[in-house]
Amino acid sequence: MPIYEYRCSQCRRRFSIFWRTYSEAAEGDPTCRYCGASNPQRLISRVRVLRSEESRMESMADPSALGDFDENDPKSIGRFMRKMMGEMGDEGGDLGPEFEEVVDRLEAGQDPEAIEREVPGLAEGLGDTGPGMEPDL
């Protein structure tokens, strides 16, 4: 499932669109998920590049090794979540594109709290670390 990133020409916000197929992505008519403006500017996805690098490194590592898991390191959390996703097998399809995007962002080293703010429809409970999670109004 191709994921393309766009920047809205109206409100300047960045967002991702999950296309079902590459041909749909090529012929699709994306609109801004925030303001609905059409013709957003497509961005080269930095996350994709990092992710292929990540999987290359992972293939060299012992797949059973979770010893380096560090809950304060977004990249470590991302690796852990991706392993969980893989182990869930068929049921993993129910997690939805938001979950996939979160893992991508974590692996890219983004701050989990920032991800939670930026990814609409994110499953509740992710990053539920107790105090400090109040919405900033």
Contacting positions for Zn ion (CB under 5 A): 8, 10-11, 32, 34-35, 37
Are 11 and 34 in contact by the 8 Å Cβ rule? The answer is yes
For Zn ion, the closer of residues 37 and 57 by Cβ is 37
Residue pair 71/39 in contact by the 8 Å Cβ criterion: no
C-beta of 12 vs 46, nearer to Zn ion: 12
Q: Minimum distance from CB of 11 to Zn ion (Å)?
A: 3
Say if CB 86 and CB 100 are below 8 A apart. Answer: no
Instruction: Write down the residue that tokens 């191709």 correspond to.
Output: 2
Helices (H), 31-127: 46-60, 74-88, 96-107, 112-118
Least Å distance between CB 91 and Zn ion? 34
Q: Give the list of residues 6+ apart from residue 29 with CB closer than 8 angstroms, or none.
A: 38
Minimum distance from residue 4 beta carbon to Zn ion (Å): 15
Nearer to Zn ion, 26 or 35 (CB): 35
Rounded least distance, CB 107 to Zn ion, Å: 26
Judged by beta carbon, residue 10 or residue 41, the one nearer Zn ion is 10
DSSP reduced 3-state for 78: helix
